[in-house]
Amino acid sequence: MRRAVRAAALTAGVVAGLAGLVVGGAWLGQDSLVYHPDRSSPGPAASVLDGGVDVTLATSDGLELTAWFVPPAREARDREVAVLVAPGNAGNRLGRAGLAELLTERGFAVLLLEYRGYGGNPGRPTEAGLALDAQAAQRALAERGFPAGRIIYFGESLGTGVVAALQAEVPPAGLLLRSPFTSFADLGAHHYPFLPVRALLRDKYPVLDHVSATQVPITVVQGDRDDVVPPDQSAAVARAAPRLVEHVVLPGAGHNDAVMFGPRIADAVVRLADHAVSG
């Protein structure tokens, strides 16, 4: 009997130790699960986008970040509206050049925000840090003659958490959320149901809380085959928006399919701007 008790205690200790290792590893390694930056510099904006210029974003915690600003295409009617694009958690601004081109063809100026730690920028990405990066991008647009009332904040995936927080500080004309999650804790619990995600997460990104408390006009765009952000979470964000302009569901679209960066997304920005921007 004593041997059985000792064996059971040893087994329980081993299981507890392994569980502690898993949880501890998740705590220490969570940043690598959340952020997947391409740290290489994509080069000058002008080499990729017609009329593109490199801009420096000065954050309030002392970083200087490079981003790209692109004016409306020469042949387009200038809407005198800027789109601040906050990307997802992977790659760098080069991967959003095609979207920027589509938006400039529709008469928008575009600022492609590049987070700290991405695209040759200094620093390490965190929720608090990315919030400062977005604030610096908004200030840079204001310096170029775009007050908040003439800016559309565009958030993609992780970027929906960034712009949802930014609009609570500086409300824009409109907010477009592409593939939003309800919160990072909800998203993490979906993908890692065997871990105490809510207790472990340092970065929260409470998109639903921000959306439900704002009067900013909102468009939500999602794919119905998204395997990264559950479609029901994006739909919940749309339902929570007090001033929902449009909820666009793209049939058969996954999280990173080409359609999610294409003309249908740019056209949704047009409709939001037509609704939200006066003059």
Q: What share of the chain is helix, strand, coil (3-state, %, to 5)?
A: 45, 20, 35
Same domain, 29 and 51: no
Using the structure block, give the residue that is written with the tokens 């005198």: 80
5-52 pLDDT per residue, tens: 455 555 544 433 433 333 444 433 456 679 999 999 999 999 999 999
First to last CA, the chain: 84
- Mean pLDDT throughout 92-108? 97
Q: Are residues 141 and 263 in the same domain?
A: yes
Residues 6+ apart with CB under 8 A from 233: 180, 181, 182, 186, 187, 190
Tokens of 35: 């952020």
Rounded to an integer, what distance in angstroms lies between the CA atom of residue 116 and that of residue 99?
21
Residues 13 and 83 reside in one and the same domain: no
Per-residue confidence (pLDDT) for residue 26, from 0 to 100? 41
Helix (H, G, I), strand (E, B) or coil at 221: strand
173-216 pLDDT, tens digit each: 999 999 999 999 999 989 888 788 788 899 999 999 999 999 99
Question: For 134, which DSSP code?
Answer: H
Alpha helices in the chain (DSSP H): 2-34, 97-105, 127-143, 158-169, 184-191, 197-200, 207-212, 231-240, 263-276
162, 267: one domain: yes
The C-alpha torsion from 156 through 161 and 165 to 168, rounded to 10°, is 70
Let me know whether 25 and 53 are in one domain: no
* Residues comprising the chain, all counted: 279
Can you give the pLDDT at residue 32? 64
43-74 pLDDT per residue, tens: 999 999 999 999 999 999 999 999 999 999 99
Do 145 and 22 belong to one domain? no
Q: What tokens appear for 211 in the block?
A: 């959306």
Same domain flag for 74 and 159: yes
Range of the domain at 8: 1-34
156, 178 contact by CB (below 8 A): yes
CATH (domain of 170): 3.40.50.1820
Alpha-carbon gap, residue 93 to 42, rounded angstroms: 7
How far lies 251's CA from each of 162, 181, 239, in Å?
Answer: 26, 18, 19
pTM of the model: 0.89
Counted domains in the chain: 2
What angle, 0 to 180 degrees and rounded to 10, lies between the N-to-C axes of helices 263-276 and 97-105?
50
Residues 214 and 123 in one domain: yes
- Provide the sign of the torsion angle of the four alpha carbons 190, 191, 196, 201, taken in this order: negative
Q: pLDDT tens for residues 103-130?
A: 999 999 999 999 999 999 999 999 999 9
66 shares its domain with 183: yes
Question: Do 197 and 218 lie in a common domain?
Answer: yes
Same-domain status, 7 and 44? no
The answer to whether residues 245 and 110 belong to one domain is: yes
